[in-house]
Amino acid sequence: MMMRMETSLRTTKELGALVRETRKAQGISQEQLAGVANTGVRFVSDLENGKPTVQLEKAIKVLEALGLGLYTGYRWEHRLWKR
Protein backbone atom coordinates (compact mmCIF):
# COMPACT_ATOMS: atom_id res chain seq x y z
CA MET A 1 0.00 0.00 0.00
CA MET A 2 1.35 3.42 -0.94
CA MET A 3 1.07 6.08 1.73
CA ARG A 4 0.82 9.69 0.70
CA MET A 5 1.64 12.36 3.22
CA GLU A 6 1.93 16.06 2.61
CA THR A 7 4.07 18.33 4.74
CA SER A 8 4.20 22.08 4.51
CA LEU A 9 7.75 23.38 4.83
CA ARG A 10 8.64 27.03 5.29
CA THR A 11 12.36 26.99 6.05
CA THR A 12 15.52 25.16 5.04
CA LYS A 13 15.77 23.95 8.65
CA GLU A 14 12.38 22.24 8.29
CA LEU A 15 13.43 20.66 5.00
CA GLY A 16 16.65 19.43 6.57
CA ALA A 17 14.80 17.94 9.52
CA LEU A 18 12.46 16.09 7.15
CA VAL A 19 15.39 14.71 5.17
CA ARG A 20 17.19 13.57 8.33
CA GLU A 21 14.04 12.03 9.83
CA THR A 22 13.21 10.18 6.61
CA ARG A 23 16.77 8.95 6.14
CA LYS A 24 16.96 7.61 9.69
CA ALA A 25 13.51 6.00 9.41
CA GLN A 26 14.79 4.14 6.35
CA GLY A 27 17.87 3.02 8.27
CA ILE A 28 20.46 4.45 5.90
CA SER A 29 23.57 6.50 6.58
CA GLN A 30 24.45 9.86 5.11
CA GLU A 31 27.14 8.09 3.11
CA GLN A 32 24.64 5.65 1.62
CA LEU A 33 22.19 8.43 0.78
CA ALA A 34 24.93 10.51 -0.84
CA GLY A 35 25.90 7.54 -3.00
CA VAL A 36 22.36 6.83 -4.16
CA ALA A 37 21.65 10.52 -4.82
CA ASN A 38 25.03 11.03 -6.54
CA THR A 39 25.99 13.84 -4.17
CA GLY A 40 28.65 14.23 -1.50
CA VAL A 41 28.31 13.42 2.18
CA ARG A 42 29.05 17.09 2.95
CA PHE A 43 26.07 18.11 0.82
CA VAL A 44 23.74 15.71 2.66
CA SER A 45 25.02 17.04 5.98
CA ASP A 46 24.55 20.66 4.89
CA LEU A 47 21.03 19.88 3.66
CA GLU A 48 20.08 18.12 6.90
CA ASN A 49 21.45 21.04 8.91
CA GLY A 50 19.28 23.51 7.00
CA LYS A 51 22.00 25.38 5.13
CA PRO A 52 20.06 28.02 3.18
CA THR A 53 22.37 28.05 0.15
CA VAL A 54 22.27 24.36 -0.87
CA GLN A 55 21.81 23.69 -4.58
CA LEU A 56 18.18 23.01 -5.41
CA GLU A 57 18.98 20.45 -8.12
CA LYS A 58 21.01 18.34 -5.70
CA ALA A 59 18.37 18.73 -2.96
CA ILE A 60 15.73 17.38 -5.35
CA LYS A 61 17.97 14.38 -6.12
CA VAL A 62 18.28 13.65 -2.39
CA LEU A 63 14.51 13.94 -1.94
CA GLU A 64 13.90 11.57 -4.85
CA ALA A 65 16.43 9.08 -3.48
CA LEU A 66 14.41 9.04 -0.24
CA GLY A 67 11.14 8.56 -2.11
CA LEU A 68 10.06 12.14 -1.43
CA GLY A 69 8.92 14.74 -3.94
CA LEU A 70 8.85 18.51 -4.15
CA TYR A 71 5.50 20.10 -4.94
CA THR A 72 4.25 23.65 -4.98
CA GLY A 73 0.86 25.23 -4.56
CA TYR A 74 -0.83 28.40 -3.48
CA ARG A 75 -0.90 28.84 0.28
CA TRP A 76 -3.41 31.67 0.16
CA GLU A 77 -6.05 33.01 -2.14
CA HIS A 78 -3.77 35.99 -2.52
CA ARG A 79 -1.73 37.35 -5.37
CA LEU A 80 1.01 39.93 -5.05
CA TRP A 81 0.38 41.37 -8.49
CA LYS A 82 -3.05 42.07 -9.85
CA ARG A 83 -3.72 42.18 -13.53
The ranges assigned to domains in the chain are: 12-65
CA of 51: how far to CAs of 19, 20, 41, 46, 77, in Å? 13, 13, 14, 5, 30
Phi, psi of 21 (to 5 degrees): -60, -45
Of 13, 45, 15, 50, the residue nearest 30 (C-alpha):
45
- What is the CATH code for 12-65? 1.10.260.40
pTM for this prediction: 0.84
Going residue by residue through the chain, which has 83 residues, state the pLDDT in tens, using 9 for 90 and above: 445 577 788 899 999 999 999 999 999 999 999 999 999 999 999 999 999 999 999 999 999 999 999 888 776 666 666 65
